[in-house]
Amino acid sequence: MDLMKLLESRRSYRRFDQSRPVPAKAINDMALALRWSASAGNLQPLRCVFVTDPEIAEAIFPHTHFAAYLPKELGTPKPGEHPVMYVVLTYEKKTKWTDTDAGIALSNLTLAAWGHGVGSCILDNIDRPEIAALLHILDGVTIHSAVALGYPTHTSKIVDQKAPGDVKYYLDNQKNYMVPKRPFSEFIFENRYPEA
């Protein structure tokens, strides 16, 4: 897939084909993408748990929260639509660069997944203590975020804003995600920041 098309179409996907596991080649490429991620000072503080066991993935699901802009009955995946795997990012000691490192890693991971047609949703609104217990994560290790993964059963498309400043995603009549993006004039400035 062309790089710019990959970047445009790598959106958040929240409903998956739960009967279709992610193949080993895609999982391996995601792991390589994480390993190749840039890291401040090359410290590489992140450790990642790949949850591919369907029973463990299903046990994690109740401790995740999807699509905050939508009513729960519309935004939460139904049975048969749950993620088939998760990647959980962790660290031992937070520094001022940890979130930047995690952002780079999450971008690499989700782009590598999407290169195989595997959709993703980066999750910060998660029940960390419960997930840590399920994954036997040691005391002193903190969960940064989790990524839900699987083959999407819907589309997610960039659209123009309906009104200035309106960034809330929504569902169309076919329950596909419409994701408003700001116009260039609101966030790309040439040479200097605009005067108020």
Q: Are 101 and 40 in contact (CB under 8 A)?
A: yes
Confidence class for position 195, pLDDT limits 50, 70, 90? confident
Tokens of 140: 């002193």
Q: What is the mean pLDDT of residues 84-89?
A: 98
CA atoms within 13 A on the CB side of 190: 2
The structural domains of the chain, with segments of one domain joined by +, span 3-154, 156-196
User: What is the reported pLDDT for 67?
Assistant: 92
Q: What is the mean pLDDT of residues 147-170?
A: 94
DSSP 127: -
User: Is the pLDDT score of 196 beyond 80?
Assistant: no
Tokens of 132: 């840590």
User: What is the reported pLDDT for 165?
Assistant: 87
CATH number of 156-196: 2.20.180
Query: How does strand 156-160 pair with strand 177-181?
Result: parallel
Rounded to two decimals, the pTM is: 0.94
User: What is the reported pLDDT for 107?
Assistant: 98
Q: What is the mean pLDDT of residues 58-85?
A: 95
Tokens of 101: 């490192």
Q: E strands of the chain, at which residues?
A: 47-51, 85-91, 119-123, 142-150, 156-160, 170-171, 177-181
Query: How does strand 119-123 pair with strand 142-150?
Result: antiparallel
CATH number of 3-154: 3.40.109.10
User: Is the pLDDT score of 103 beyond 80?
Assistant: yes
Q: What is the mean pLDDT of residues 163-168?
A: 91
Q: Are 29 and 130 in contact (CB under 8 A)?
A: no
Whole-angstrom CA distances from 41 to 35, 97, 113, 153, 154 are: 15, 9, 26, 40, 39
- Average pLDDT of the chain? 96
- Higher-pLDDT residue of 53 and 72 is 53
User: What is the reported pLDDT for 1?
Assistant: 74
Dump pLDDT digits (tens) for 111-133. Answer: 999 999 999 999 999 999 999 99
CA-CA distance, 49 to 22, in Å (whole number)? 15
Confidence class for position 88, pLDDT limits 50, 70, 90? very high
Percentage of the chain lying above the pLDDT 70 cut: 100
